[in-house]
Each structure stands twice: as C-alpha cells, then as structure tokens.
Amino acid sequence: MAKRAAPEVNAGSMADIAFLLLIFFLVTTTIEKDKGLLRSLPPIDDTEVEPPVIKQKNLFTVNINRNNQLLVEEEEIPITELRQATIDFLDNGGGTNQAGESCDYCKGERSEASSDHPDKAIISMKHDRETTYEKYIEVQNELVAAYNFLREREATRLYSQYYPNAEKVFTAMLEEKEKNQFSKDEVLNERIETIKKLFPMKLSEAEPDKK
Amino acid sequence: MSKFRKKDKGGLPAISTASLPDIVFMLLFFFMVATVMRDSSLMVENQMPNADQVEKLKKDRTIFIFAGKPSSQYKQFGQEPRIQFNDAFITVEDVQSSVSQGIVEMNEELQSKVVIGLKVDKNTNAGLVSDIKQELRKANALKVMYISNNQKVE
C-alpha cells in the first residue's frame, strides 16, 4: 500500500486564537503607574540631648488647623501664596551659614528678619488631627515645589551647558540618573548632590497634639 | 528572448500573512508579562489626593498600606477610616509588626531600600496618617511615599 503523506494541519486560525488571547491580556493589563511624594521620616531619637536652639527667623512655621486653614508665620494666607512665601524664605540669604559663608547664590531680599542661609532655614510643619489628608498633601506638595523650584534654578545656572536641550535641567539630571541606575555615573551623582546641598530639604513635622 | 523580460502582469501579489501569528504572539507575550493581576482587593475607599511634584515609585521595594473609610461592601466595619494591609484590616498597633513581616519577606538586597507606599484616601484625617508614620518610625521603615494622582493642583 502506498504511504500516504500526513495531512497538513491548517494553521490559519492560529492568528485568531492568538488575537483572542492578546485582547484578553490587553484588557486586563493595568500598567502600574504609581507616583507620589517621597519623604523620609526622622528616626526615633531616645537620647536626652537638648535640641540646639534655632533662631526664630530661621524657622518657617506652617500650621494647618482642623478647618483646613493655613497659618504661615502667624499669618493666615491662601494656599496659592504658600509656594512663593516658602521660596522667599529659603532664598533670603540674610546672613551666614555655620561655616561663616554668606549665601552668594541666593537671589532673595537679604532681609535681616528672615532666614540666614538655606543651610539653616528650617520649615516646621504642624497639623491638627482632623486636618484632611488632601489638604496635608496639598501643603506638602507646595513645600516640595518650592525646593524643586530653587534647585531647578541652581541646576540651570551651574549645569545648563551639559543639557542644552533640557527645559528643566535638574529634572533632566535626575532622569539620566534613573536611566543609568546600573552603571553609576560618579560625575552626575556628584552634581546632583551639589545641587541638593545648595538647598538642603529641612522639613520637620511636629506630631499633632493628642487630645 | 531577453533574460530580464518583465514578468507578465498578474495583478497584485497576495501579501503573505504567514508571519502574522508571530507578530501577534510577540505582542501577546509582552502583555502576558506586563500584566499584574491585582493581588489584594481594596476594602477601603481609595481616592488619592492630587500633587504635581511627584517621583516614580519602584514597585519591587515597596510595601503598600491602604487607609480610608471601609467601602460599601464592608459597611459592617463602620464609618471610621481603617488601615488595610494586604487583605485584612489592621489596627494602628499592628502596623509595626505587619511592616516588619513584610520587610522580612522581601528580597534581601532590597530590604535596606524599602519604601512604604501610603495609599490613603483624601478624605481621611491626617491624624491617622501621623499615627501610621509614628508606627513606621518604630519599625525603622523611614522612607515613605505618599501615593498621589499626578495632576495639576487647581
């Protein structure tokens, strides 16, 4: 008897099956895109060391009450003005830092009544237990925005020649760091640290009063 | 006569679709790999607040904590905002142990870089968040990320 060739399997519907699966996964996929404000908490300090005295003028107090009203430096202001007020405070440069250097990159008013140096400027934030989380994040966002604005300005001043096409130089630097996370770029890291040092984020949060 | 005589016109040649399954399979595998099935179902209302100064979250080193009012199918837990960790409601006192447990279960080289992702409903009282943060300090998990929607703040 003649040997019959095995009949060929029709693979034409393979594409259909694959499409069906593809569409299922397309629909169920949610590309995770969680973003948020990254903050560090202070470690618990049990030592009984007297905290150093901070001059009132180097302290920028932000209070939120239970009705979500904002009190900044003993004055009630709308949240839209918080960012500029924070920038003015940080950028004031009225005096010298710990090492006795005056802030030569500050562009503020150099007023005697406001902060001495970005190194010394501390933002102290306090909220009530019944403040809503939404308002709390909004305020945090404005404070971080003030720091980002100033860091962005310094990055543009110092390093814009390396990033001629970037609109936001500091953001571009951070993105590059993100891209090269497996091959460490020492120069870039150093530059980012330099910028961060010019305006160190000193944001302290007081615990809300317990009732 | 010539070797390079034009072929007689026979209409458009049919496009071969033989590689179509390959292309589709390639896409299929991509989406299969990229798909994350939700591992813990939300038991609380979870609407994030808005912020625009945000950073991206690295998922591999993150432990999530949810907080908010219990959602409608969990009404029996009351109206007060609750904390959810993995698949259960926990109390403030349990946060420390749960987070420590979560850290131990993580990849070893990432344990020191752990970030706590706080997914808190925007109508929650900030006092609850501050309680959670206090517990996180006790657990020595000091990096927190307030997860938020990346939208312009009006």
Give per-residue pLDDT as tens, A74-119: 888 888 888 888 888 888 877 777 777 778 788 878 887 888 888 8
Maximum pairwise Cα distance, chain A: 109
Judging contacts by C-beta atoms under 8 Å, the chain A residues touching residue B20 are: 15
Q: What is the pLDDT of residue A177?
A: 80
pLDDT range class, residue B1, cuts 50, 70, 90: low
Mean pLDDT for all residues in chain A: 82
- A43 occurs within a structural domain: no
Spell out the residues 6+ positions from residue B66 whose beta carbon is closer than 8 angstroms to its own. B42, B43, B44, B46, B83, B84, B85, B119, B120
Spell out the residues 6+ positions from residue B30 whose beta carbon is closer than 8 angstroms to its own. none
Judging contacts by C-beta atoms under 8 Å, the chain B residues touching residue A128 are: 126-127
Q: Residues B40, B86: contact at Cβ < 8 Å?
A: yes
**What would the mean pLDDT of A14-38 be, rounded to a whole number?**
80
- Ranking A4-13, A174-183, B1-10, B19-28 by mean pLDDT, the lowest is B1-10
Q: How far is CA B102 from CA A189, B61, B64, B98, in A?
A: 31, 10, 10, 6
CA B8, chain centre distance (Å)? 60
pLDDT range class, residue B151, cuts 50, 70, 90: low
Q: Please name the residues between 154 and 193 in chain A that touch chain B, using a CB distance below 8 Å.
A: 178
Q: What is the pLDDT of residue B154?
A: 44
Q: Residues A25, B28: contact at Cβ < 8 Å?
A: yes
Percent of chain B surpassing pLDDT 70 = 88
User: pLDDT digit string (tens) for A160-174?
Assistant: 888 888 788 888 888
Judging contacts by C-beta atoms under 8 Å, the chain A residues touching residue B142 are: 40-43
User: pLDDT digit string (tens) for A29-45?
Assistant: 776 677 888 888 888 87
pLDDT range class, residue B153, cuts 50, 70, 90: very low
Domain span holding position A128: 56-206
CB contact under 8 A, B28 and A25: yes
CA A177-A41-B93 angle, 5° bins: 130
Classify burial at B71, counting beta carbons within 10 Å of its beta carbon; exposed 0-12, middle 13-18, buried 19 or more. Answer: middle
- B3 occurs within a structural domain: no
Domain total of chain A: 1
Domain total of chain B: 1
Judging contacts by C-beta atoms under 8 Å, the chain B residues touching residue A131 are: 125-127
- B114 occurs within a structural domain: yes
Buried (b) or exposed (e) across A87-107, using 16+ Cβ within 10 A? bbbbbbbbbeeeeeeebeebe
pTM greater than 0.95: no
Q: Between A7 and A193, name the one with better pLDDT.
A: A193
Instruction: Give the pairing type, strands B88-90 and A70-72.
Output: unpaired
CB contact under 8 A, A36 and B147: yes
Task: Please tell me the distance from the alpha carbon of residue B118 to that of residue B133, in angstroms, as a whole number.
Answer: 10
CB contact under 8 A, A14 and B21: yes
- B5 occurs within a structural domain: no
**CA dihedral sign of residues A116, A117, A120, A122:** positive
CB contact under 8 A, A41 and B21: no
Gyration radius of chain B over CA positions: 26
- A32 occurs within a structural domain: no
- B24 occurs within a structural domain: no
Judging contacts by C-beta atoms under 8 Å, the chain A residues touching residue B54 are: 35-37
pLDDT range class, residue B9, cuts 50, 70, 90: low
User: pLDDT digit string (tens) for B29-65?
Assistant: 888 887 766 666 778 888 888 888 888 887 778 888 8
Helix locations, chain B, DSSP H: 20-34, 95-104, 126-138
- A44 occurs within a structural domain: no
Q: Number of A to B CB contacts under 8 A, please give it.
A: 153
The one-letter amino acid code at B34 reads A
**What would the mean pLDDT of B9-37 be, rounded to a whole number?**
79
Domain span holding position B100: 50-150
- B71 occurs within a structural domain: yes
- A35 occurs within a structural domain: no
CATH code, domain carrying B138: 3.30.420.270
- Closest partner residue to A38 (CB to CB) among B37, B55, B124 is B55
